[in-house]
Amino acid sequence: MANLNTYLCKATLEHWAIPHFNVSNLEQLRAVVDAAAELKAPVMIGTSEHEREIFTPEAAAALVAAYEDKFAVPLFLNADHTHSVALAKAAIDAGYASIHIDLSKLPFGQNLKGTAETVRYARKRGRSVNVEGELGALPTDSSTVIKGKVKIDRSAFTSPEQALEFCHKTGIDRLAPAVGNYHGISVATKKELDFKLIAELRAKLRKNIALVLHGGSGSGDAAFKKAIASGIANIHISTELRIAFSAALRQTMKKLPNEVVPYKLTESARVAVKEKAKHFIRLFGAAGKA
């Protein structure tokens, strides 16, 4: 089975994107796996630092490996938004296929140094570990529904010239830029992606460095298609899965107030997440690419 870098390069050249779905529990994980298997699509499965605490890194790696073997579909486990080199190394040691080392809130030099150290450590592991760095500042951190407005600061967007230096000196496989995106969904602030900047970044960087869009939820189908056409090859979805899961779960608990069997309560939520994941797999053009 091809490694993640091979799929990302294909996605970049062929103008489709690998979906990245964050999961917080076994039901969400199984939903994403079932969607990928049904549509024969490569997908990335993300766990944030807190989500890794829930699963433990070793258990998450073992579960994803078992599902990949059982369903014969490419599943790439990513340590999403890892804010320290130590935790990045721990995820690598636990068996993660991908590391997102996010030191974007640090000064440029510190971000570059820590990201480069993570890349060097990954390369020494004797297996293919794909590493993503982040450059530029996103205005929100949490994948949730935001009640107020989100302030978009264009001065925090990623510079193509600085991105070129960052990628060259760190040796990363993927770059997550700030291009008008933000984590979560705000009813008061529409996401307006800078497609021109995405295209400029794509033109500036080597083709084997994939561009990643974080905070995808709520962007809208048309914006996703335009982002992919502009050069995005990997899109993160978390909030929309969480909304689908929690809405279905609340509805079931309202219908079955006396039910105590967990899997009976969560089945509709699992199905809701699966259908949402299938929508994005098709939308991003990843169906049939496994």
Is 103 within 8 Å of 115 (Cβ atoms)? yes
Q: Which CATH architecture has domain 4-283?
A: Alpha-Beta Barrel (3.20)
Is 75 within 8 Å of 67 (Cβ atoms)? yes
Encode the chain (290 residues) as per-residue pLDDT tens digits: 789 999 999 999 999 999 999 999 999 999 999 999 999 999 999 999 999 999 999 999 999 999 999 999 999 999 999 999 999 999 999 999 999 999 999 999 999 999 999 999 999 986 789 999 999 977 676 666 656 676 776 777 899 999 999 999 999 999 999 998 777 766 656 778 899 999 999 999 999 999 999 987 778 899 999 999 999 999 999 999 999 999 999 999 999 999 999 999 999 999 999 999 999 999 999 999 99
pLDDT of residue 189: 67
CA-CA distance, 235 to 228, in Å (whole number)? 9
Centre a 10 Å sphere on the Cβ of residue 81 and count the other Cβ atoms it contains.
Answer: 24
CA-CA distance, 75 to 66, in Å (whole number)? 10
CA-CA distance, 96 to 42, in Å (whole number)? 16
pLDDT of residue 40: 98
Q: Locate tokens 């460095």: which residue?
A: 209
Asked about 93 being catalytic, the answer comes back as no
Catalytic residue among 80, 102, 173, 194: 80
pLDDT of residue 156: 77
Q: Where are the domains of the chain?
A: 4-283
pLDDT of residue 146: 55
Q: Which of 214, 223, 219 is nearest to 19 (CA)?
A: 214
The rounded radius of gyration (Å) of the Cα atoms in the chain is 18
pLDDT of residue 243: 94
Angle at 115 between CA 112 and CA 120, to 5 degrees: 120
Structure tokens at 94: 């636990």
Structure tokens at 258: 């006396």
Is 140 within 8 Å of 183 (Cβ atoms)? yes
